A and B are shown apart, each in its own frame.
Chain A
Amino acid sequence: QSALTQPASVSGSPGQSITISCSGTSSDVGGDNYISWYQQHPGKAPKLMIYDVSNRPSGVSNRFSGSKSGNTASLTISGLQAEDEADYYCSSHTSSSTRGVFGGGTKLTVL
């Protein structure tokens, strides 16, 4: 199962908004609404930021939002803050026998 496609890096200035894309196929991203996003700071475990395309777990800032169109999901971070600098990964359920896949990850730099 190939990884979902994410840009290797994105950057933005404090206060700006950025969007990270996650492209797949009709067998994964486009197949259902089981898309999730994770934030990972260096040396730390990943943290769930968005689930089921656009839902935020309790405690996650409303500056984080998710959406999906066809075979591409997106994570938008508004009002960028220094602490948002991290790696971000999308994940999707798949209809293949393996059932799960991650994107390759995107490094967010806050300028």
Chain B
Amino acid sequence: EVQLVESGGGLVQPGGSLRLSCAASGFTFSNYNMNWVRQAPGKGLEWVSYISSSSSTIYYADSVKGRFTISRDNAENSLYLQMNSLRAEDTAVYYCARGLVKYNSGWYFDYWGQGTLVTVSS
């Protein structure tokens, strides 16, 4: 069974930093592209970042570019999101979402974690 479990959320002051983790199991993690998607309270989904299976290709939404860094450790079956210079508008539930298997073309997220809440407030 595919499982994605996020952790690392919490309350942080504006300008602060936080590192989110996503532990993957039930599939060959190193074969899949991965993503972070967030959802502000009462709002819609926003794609945040993408990392390819080998970490060779990375993309960011304009809203987080230069502040967030996505990474992965295939040996540990883990995905990360380092968030710096946090702003109130970064307050959201952050989801880890599996993308496509490597070498396949497409854009969708077939498995999602339950999310971790990040609150940016003084």
Indicate whether A101 sits within 8 Å of B106 (C-beta atoms), given known contacts A46-B95, A47-B112: no
Residue of A40, A45, A93, A97 touching B107 (CB-CB under 8 A): A93
Q: Which segment of A14-22, A67-75, A78-86, A102-110 sits at the interface?
A: A102-110
**Is B44 within 8 A of A91, CB to CB?**
no
List residues of chain A with CB under 8 Å of any chain B CB.
Answer: 1, 3, 34, 36, 38, 40, 45-48, 51-52, 57, 87, 89, 91-93, 97-105
Judge whether B44 and A100 touch: CB under 8 Å. no
Query: Contact: B60 with A89, CB < 8 Å?
Result: no
B1 within 8 A of A: no
B111 and chain A: residue at smallest CB distance: A48
Nearest-CB distance from B87 to chain A (Å)? 18
A85 to B34, CA, bound (A): 28
Q: Do residues B109 and A48 form an inter-chain contact, with CB atoms below 8 A?
A: yes
Q: Are B95 and A45 in touch, CB under 8 angstroms?
A: yes
With A1-B61, A46-B95, A99-B59 as contacts: A89 and B109 at CB distance below 8 Å: no
